[in-house]
Structure 1
Amino acid sequence: MRRIPEFRIVRWEIKVLYVVLAWIVGYVVVDLVRSIGAPVVVVSLVGLATTFVSFALAVRIFRGADEPVEPPRPWWRMTAWPTLSRRLGILFTVLAVVCTVGITLAVAGVPGTESTLDVGLAAAIEVAVTCAALAFLYLNSAVRMSRLGIVKPVPLRPDARLKF
């Protein structure tokens, strides 16, 4: 019998299914905590915890094409290749900046930003903190892989043209 840490997901379809199920489970857990009347701070902390647990598990069990399946990844490695880590790091950086600007404008009382406060300041801060932390982790992963010389192998493609 295999233990959970030895379980690996390689196919992209199963990765998407994992992400969808993790999001649903996180939403249900947070909604359950909210429904029992927990304070907003507790609900936000539970939201952060469910997000980080699902990401932590995903980066341990997801494997990229041509990435070794058996050995565990180093603790700092978030993806199979530096390019994907860099792209995700940039995405989460942009999201963190947008959230932070939105929160700042809403708190300053700029007209048109009331929707940020309608969602809830704690929830908006939770999203900004989550995005900033994930940005740091992905960018750190990209830098470390690049320094170690880890690159995605170039696939060998046969020449399909007919030669006469």
Structure 2
Amino acid sequence: MRRLLDLRIPRWGWKLVYVVAAYVIGTMPAQLGLALGAYELGFVIGALVRVGLFLYAARIFRGRGEAVEPARPWWQMTARPTLSRRLGILFAILLALDLLGSALAAAGLYDSGALPLVVSIVSVVETGLIAFLYLNSAVRLRRAGVGSTEPVRPTFKPKRLKVD
């Protein structure tokens, strides 16, 4: 277990692989539940898995210039407040869309395909929790002074070779 918590992913390519794998893993319980006739239970388990994978990613991902070895504080989701804020806003928008869809379905103005109420509630709670975690991280990182001096961005200019 300790080795899993000591893992660090600093490169964006591996982060992308993790996110795609986490998405696939997070949808498996709902698909299995659908096949077994227990979609609601599968969806709830999938939501717990997805939130767990989000929290684990926040522990192991590292940003440019961030120290690799030490563990992040429990509340820190990203290396910079700007990224935390942007992801928090993205999930807040998804939360608003979830709430709007649920309200329209409850009012009978939108056919949700007989989506169970528990799925709507779990989806709203999951998205709201993730939005809160990212926005909280943005506020706390800004208060801690992180990101006030952004590191110099790489220019990606090739080095000139000296010809003797």
Matches within 5 A, 1:108-119: 108-110=107-109, 113-114=110-111, 116-119=112-115
Encode CA deviations 1:120-151: one digit per residue, 9 max, x unaligned.
Answer: 44333332221111110000000001111111
Which residue of structure 1 aligns with residue 150 of structure 2?
153
Contact 1:9–1:61 (8 Å) recurs in 2: yes
In structure 2, C-alpha distance between the alignment counterparts of 1:29 and 1:156, rounded to whole Å? 41
Contact 2:33–2:43 (8 Å) recurs in 1: no
Question: How far apart are 1:82 and its partner, in Å?
Answer: 0.2
Query: Alpha carbon RMSD of aligned pairs, Å?
Result: 2.1
Encode CA deviations 1:45-102: one digit per residue, 9 max, x unaligned.
Answer: 2021111111111011000011110000000000000000000111111110111011
TM-score by length of 1: 0.84
In structure 2, C-alpha distance between the alignment counterparts of 1:101 and 1:68, rounded to whole Å? 41
TM-score by length of 2: 0.84
Which residue of structure 1 aligns with residue 161 of structure 2?
none
The runs of at least 4 consecutive aligned structure 1 residues that moved more than 4 Å come to: none
Task: Flag structure 2 segments of 5+ consecutive residues without an equivalent.
Answer: 158-164
Higher alpha-carbon deviation: 79-88 or 148-157: 148-157
Contact 1:106–1:117 (8 Å) recurs in 2: no
Question: How far apart are 1:117 and its partner, in Å?
Answer: 4.0
Question: How far apart are 1:157 and its partner, in Å?
Answer: 6.7
Cα 1:33–1:69 shift into 2, 3 Å = same
| Number of residue-to-residue matches in the alignment | 154
In structure 2, C-alpha distance between the alignment counterparts of 1:54 and 1:107, rounded to whole Å? 31
Task: Flag structure 1 segments of 5+ consecutive residues without an equivalent.
Answer: none
- What is the SS of the residue equivalent to 1:3? helix
In structure 2, C-alpha distance between the alignment counterparts of 1:49 and 1:156, rounded to whole Å? 36
Higher alpha-carbon deviation: 26-35 or 88-97: 26-35
Which residue of structure 1 aligns with residue 83 of structure 2?
84
Cα 1:117–1:104 shift into 2, 3 Å = farther
Which residue of structure 2 aligns with residue 4 of structure 1?
4
Which residue of structure 2 aligns with residue 144 of structure 1?
140
Contact 2:65–2:151 (8 Å) recurs in 1: no
